[in-house]
Amino acid sequence: MPSYIGMLIFVLLLACLFAAMVLRNRSRPVGYLVFNLAGDKTAARAAWKARFENRRPPTEPRQAKKIEIKASSADTTDILLYDEIGWYGVTAKEFIAALATITTPNICVRINSPGGDVFDGLAIYNALKSHKGNVVCVVDGLAASAASFIAMAGTTVSIHESAMLMIHRAWGFAIGNEADMTEMAKVLAKIDGQLAGIYAKQTGKKAEEMLALMAGDSDGTWFTAQEAADGGFVDEIIDPDAETDDAGKTVAPGGEDEDPEMAKAMARFQAMRRRVALAEQD
């Protein structure tokens, strides 16, 4: 094929592309079309960030999720965290608003969640830690990702024998040049450090050890109930054969429920043991 024919075909393709853009943007000035052909990097970055942003997608309407709250006894209220955390599930704003309506002295947070937005998760964790009442957390099915460190907010953390826990390093997306990628990596490293601190405080181990578990062999570490207990992430494994009272607390078969004050004292004792273990490692 002669070279001038190939050049003619190339020019015709460019003309068709320009005509298509004119038809698509009839109400916009020609300068806008030329700028678009040159490439609007700022608009492209914004579009890609919006595509992967799970906090507040600008084009997708959202239906507020209702968080289930129920009284399990005269002095205990269950709050169910049975959804993703963030825009596509339960937001921190919704959870904290529900938390504010509870007036009983004891709260049981029941968790079955794959996790979600890290900052919504941190806001929920901090709200539970600063709550004036006694808060216990129970993993009913799965506490993964952001849900795993929310579970650490309880004065005691329990897990059902067949449930699981998963921790991993923070995820994120970045669009841009080397500086953009480097900045994202720095932010992710800081988030990892914050989360490792939460796990270290619960387990009584060093943050470096938690970071290694968060990295895992590929992306994170999965724990069975027994592994979570052995690692110090949970204080109690709930035996399915054991009896429970209306508040979901384990009762020895044929015996009485343990004294609430004794339970609090044991929780403080366990926390002290973790702190001593951490001090000895230093």
> How is residue 248 written in tokens?
């979901």
Active site residues: 145, 168
* Alpha-carbon gap, residue 168 to 274, rounded angstroms: 22
Q: What's phi and psi for 140, nearest 5 deg?
A: -85, -35
End-to-end CA distance of the chain: 76
> How is residue 20 written in tokens?
């298509």
Kindly give, in sequence order, each residue whose CB lies less than 8 Å from that of residue 48, ignoring residues fewer than 6 positions away: 173, 175
Burial class (CB in 10 A: 0-12, 13-18, 19+), 11: exposed
* Alpha-carbon gap, residue 278 to 282, rounded angstroms: 7
Task: Report the relative pairing of strands 164-167 and 156-160 from DSSP bridges.
Answer: unpaired
User: Coil, helix or strand for 236?
Assistant: strand
User: Coil, helix or strand for 141?
Assistant: strand
User: Coil, helix or strand for 73?
Assistant: strand
* Alpha-carbon gap, residue 170 to 167, rounded angstroms: 9
